[in-house]
Amino acid sequence: MPRIDLPLTGRPAENSAPAASPAAGDTVSGTRRTLARALRQAGIADFTFEARILVEDLADGGDTLDAASATRLNDALARRLAGEPLWRILGAREFWGLSFALSPGTLEPRPDSETLIEATLQHLGERRQEALTFLDLGTGTGCLLIAALSEFPQARGVGVDLSEDAIATATANAARNGVGERAAFRLARWDQGLSGRFDLILSNPPYIASNEIPLLDPGVREHDPLLALDGGTDGLDAYRELAALLPSRLAADGRAVLEIGAGQEDQVRALMKAAGLRHLRSHRDLGGHSRALVFTREM
Looking at the predicted structure, is the pLDDT value of residue 89 above 50?
A: yes
- Say whether both 84 and 111 belong to one domain: no
How many domains are there within the chain?
2
% of the chain exceeding 90 in pLDDT: 91
Residue 1 pLDDT > 80: no
Residue after which a domain boundary falls, among 90, 117, 134: 90
Residue 275 has pLDDT above 70, yes or no: yes
Same domain, 200 and 86: no
100 and 159 share one domain: yes
Asked which of 45, 74, 90 is the last residue of a domain, the reply is 90
- Do 187 and 41 belong to one domain? no
Has residue 133 got a pLDDT over 60? Answer: yes
Task: Say if residue 53 is in the same domain as residue 139.
Answer: no
Of the residues 66, 90, 114, the one at which a domain ends? 90
Predicted local distance difference test score (pLDDT) of residue 154: 98
pLDDT in tens, 135-192: 999 999 999 999 999 999 999 999 999 999 999 999 999 999 999 999 999 999 999 9
Is there a single domain that holds both residue 130 and residue 273?
yes
* Lowest-pLDDT range of 15-24, 73-82, 148-157, 191-200: 15-24
Residue 19: pLDDT band by 50, 70, 90 thresholds?
low
Q: Are residues 190 and 273 in the same domain?
A: yes
Same domain, 43 and 168: no
Do 131 and 70 lie in a common domain? Answer: no
**Domain span holding position 44:** 28-90
5: in domain: no
For residues 168 and 42, membership in a common domain is answered with no
5: pLDDT strictly greater than 50: no
**In-domain check, residue 36:** yes
193-211: pLDDT as tens digits: 999 999 999 999 999 999 9
> What's the pTM value of the predicted model, to 2 decimals?
0.91
Q: Are residues 73 and 197 in the same domain?
A: no
Asked if 283 contacts 258 with a C-beta cutoff of 8 angstroms, the reply is no
